[in-house]
Chain A
Amino acid sequence: MTLEEIVRYPLEWTKGKGERSDVAISSRIRLARNIAAYRFPVRCDAGELKEVADAISKVLTTSPMLKRSKYVAIDDLFPLARQVLVEDHLISPEFTKGGVGRMVALDERGLVSIMVNEEEHLRIQVIMGGLNLQEVWRIAQAIDEELEALGYAFDERLGFLTSCPTNVGTGMRASVMVHIPALEQMRSCGSLIRECNRLGLTVRGTYGEGTEAEGALYQISNQVTLGLSEEELIEKVSSVVAQVADQEEAARQELLRRQGVKLEDEMWRSWGALRYARLVSSREALKHLSLVKMGSDLGITPHLDAEEWNSLILNIQPAHVEAFAGRALSPEERDVARGNFLRGRLKMINEE
């Protein structure tokens, strides 16, 4: 795939459909699977990694759901294209190193991606917009069934066997990305995180493990993968996210009540910065985009629909900015390009 194709690859979740899409941005399920006949990637030699990649390729071509997907070797992609895939949450940062047998399958609808020979032989990922884990699970399960012909490593007692013991059992991680600026401003995130932990859920920054939250975006996911069924895990994550969404909405009203014009001013200043600034870093862009989204949701700043906002948070990321420019940029050039992009897009939005 060319850089152009990758940066224009459609992502279903950005359409912003699905429930609670004011707070729940996207729902994702990842399944870790291994092929019983092969050692796990960490202990495979080059020949085995290639055999695994070929075996998966064969199954993909006969899969009704995935036969039209692109199956790409990471080594065949420009470094910038790999970074774009990371920013799209389609591959992990570690996976960009590439190497023999490291492939990614991307379906034509932008719903499903499969990392081959990452930590596990297969990481099947399905993402949709809003709070929609049930539907995401239905699709993930259908794909899982199609790939099952590979002969999964499975143990009657421990379930799906994985290289990393934290994934064993269901091998499933269900996560929802939430936008919670009001809870953040009211300093409620610490207690929210503690509460989620108590319930067996993990809360992380936008880009997964070890990253801090930017743009008030957090991922809520199940901590354990063993001992509960997939449905139970999904139910747990979904019900907590629904409660978080309720709390966020209440917090927004409370914030507005307490701060009144101060909050309005803050949101409008963010609108102004995005609409007119000439140099915008990605951190600054995320901060302002978070505020204008809350402003839009509250009917204060101009209306930004979910699809437009999702497209903005995606495309202001550094690799996306460079990919659109078509060349490597210095940090300052990138901030200029980002500013141009944001002004161009916000100009199109009715300010009345």
Chain B
Amino acid sequence: MEADKLFPEFGQLDSAFGSLLSSLWEPFVPEKASSHHLTKKKTVSCPKCGLDLAGFQQVGKFGCAKCYETFKEYINPLVRKIHGADVHRGLRPGRKRAAKGAPCGELDALRRELQEAVEKEEYERAAQLRDRIRTLEGRSGHDA
């Protein structure tokens, strides 16, 4: 209670964050959704774990890796809302990471992101990505 009095902002912030989260879940509609599409997709359940959309919305957790494929079109907008991004730029398993890894992986990811941006006609974002790719390519060129 003491802390509440000292930091009224703290409590406000928590509640603001709470409502932010619920607004993330509510408009849980796929990209380019039509109402027909939506009703059809609602019955989809994951072939590996049996989770359906209603089940996910209840607990906010996916049931298995396959869910990410099953609910792909719902997941992408959700992930973008949470993280403000939808492409992984960090480490990848399966290689000696400390030695090589990150910069190359980052380039791959950026190139994919660029392609996507162009497809969606997000030209401003595409230009930023292209600049970043050029910078990175320049950097690895010097290193080598």
Given contacts A39-B63, A213-B3, A231-B102, contact A148 B13 (CB under 8 A): no
Once the chains bind, are B89 and A228 in contact (CB under 8 Å)?
yes
Given contacts A43-B64, A187-B6, contact A194 B90 (CB under 8 A): no
The CB with the most chain B CB atoms within 10 A, among A153, A161, A214, is that of: A161
Q: State which of B4, B49, B85, B91 has its C-beta within 8 Å of the C-beta of A230.
A: B91
| Residue B9, interface by CB 8 Å | yes
Q: What residues of B have a CB within 8 angstroms of the CB of A205 in the complex?
A: 3
Given contacts A39-B49, A169-B90, A231-B102, contact A226 B6 (CB under 8 A): no
Interface residues on B, range: 35 or more
| Residue A242, interface by CB 8 Å | no
Q: State which of A190, A197, A227 has its C-beta within 8 Å of the C-beta of B89.
A: A227
> What 0/1 readout, one digit per residue, does chain B (66-98) give for beta carbons within 8 Å of chain A?
001000000100110011111111111110111
Complex formed: what's the CA distance from A157 to B91 in Å? 12
Q: State which of B63, B84, B86 has its C-beta within 8 Å of the C-beta of A43.
A: B63
Once the chains bind, are B63 and A224 in contact (CB under 8 Å)?
no
Once the chains bind, are B51 and A43 in contact (CB under 8 Å)?
yes
Q: What residues of B have a CB within 8 angstroms of the CB of A158 in the complex?
A: 68, 75, 79, 86-88
> What 0/1 readout, one digit per residue, does chain B (38-50) give for beta carbons within 8 Å of chain A?
0000000000111
Residue of A nearest to B55 (CB): A43
> What 0/1 readout, one digit per residue, does chain A (24-62) give for beta carbons within 8 Å of chain B?
000000000010101110110000000000000000000
| Residue B27, interface by CB 8 Å | no
Q: What residues of A have a CB within 8 angstroms of the CB of B63 in the complex?
A: 39-40, 42-43, 163
Once the chains bind, are A43 and B82 in contact (CB under 8 Å)?
no
B61 to chain A, nearest CB (A): 4
Residue of B nearest to A226 (CB): B83
Given contacts A42-B61, A197-B13, A212-B10, contact A169 B88 (CB under 8 A): yes
Complex formed: what's the CA distance from A166 to B96 in Å? 27
A–B complex contacts, Cβ < 8 Å, 25 sampled? A154-B92, A157-B86, A158-B75, A159-B88, A159-B90, A161-B68, A165-B75, A165-B78, A168-B83, A187-B6, A189-B7, A189-B10, A190-B8, A190-B9, A193-B9, A194-B13, A212-B4, A213-B10, A214-B3, A224-B85, A226-B87, A227-B87, A230-B90, A230-B91, A232-B89
Q: State which of B60, B68, B91 has its C-beta within 8 Å of the C-beta of A155.
A: B68
Given contacts A119-B61, A163-B62, A164-B61, contact A190 B10 (CB under 8 A): yes
Q: What residues of B have a CB within 8 angstroms of the CB of A172 in the complex?
A: 90
Complex formed: what's the CA distance from A94 to B93 in Å? 29
| Residue A253, interface by CB 8 Å | no
Main secondary structure of the interface of B (DSSP, over half): loop
Complex formed: what's the CA distance from A200 to B65 in Å? 27
Q: What residues of B have a CB within 8 angstroms of the CB of A232 in the complex?
A: 89
Q: State which of B10, B79, B84 has its C-beta within 8 Å of the C-beta of A165.
A: B79
| Residue A141, interface by CB 8 Å | yes
Q: State which of B4, B50, B65, B88 has its C-beta within 8 Å of the C-beta of A36.
A: B65
> What is the interface of chain A, defined by CB distance below 8 A to chain B?
34, 36, 38-40, 42-43, 119, 141, 145, 148, 152-166, 168-170, 172, 184, 187, 189-191, 193-194, 197, 200, 205, 210, 212-214, 224-232
Residue of B nearest to A170 (CB): B90
Q: State which of A145, A170, A187 has its C-beta within 8 Å of the C-beta of B97.
A: A145
Once the chains bind, are B83 and A169 in contact (CB under 8 Å)?
yes
Once the chains bind, are A40 and B61 in contact (CB under 8 Å)?
yes
| Residue B14, interface by CB 8 Å | yes
Q: Which 5 A-B pairs have the closest CB atoms?
A: A227-B85, A159-B88, A190-B9, A43-B63, A153-B65
| Residue B144, interface by CB 8 Å | no
Q: What residues of A have a CB within 8 angstroms of the CB of B109 in the complex?
A: 157
Q: What residues of A have a CB within 8 angstroms of the CB of B89 in the complex?
A: 227-229, 232
B76 to chain A, nearest CB (A): 9
Q: State which of B6, B49, B60, B97 has its C-beta within 8 Å of the C-beta of A141.
A: B97
The CB with the most chain A CB atoms within 10 A, among B8, B14, B82, B93, is that of: B93
Complex formed: what's the CA distance from A22 to B75 in Å? 43
Once the chains bind, are A227 and B86 in contact (CB under 8 Å)?
yes
Q: State which of B3, B49, B51, B86 has its C-beta within 8 Å of the C-beta of A226.
A: B86
Complex formed: what's the CA distance from A40 to B79 in Å? 18
Complex formed: what's the CA distance from A184 to B6 in Å? 8
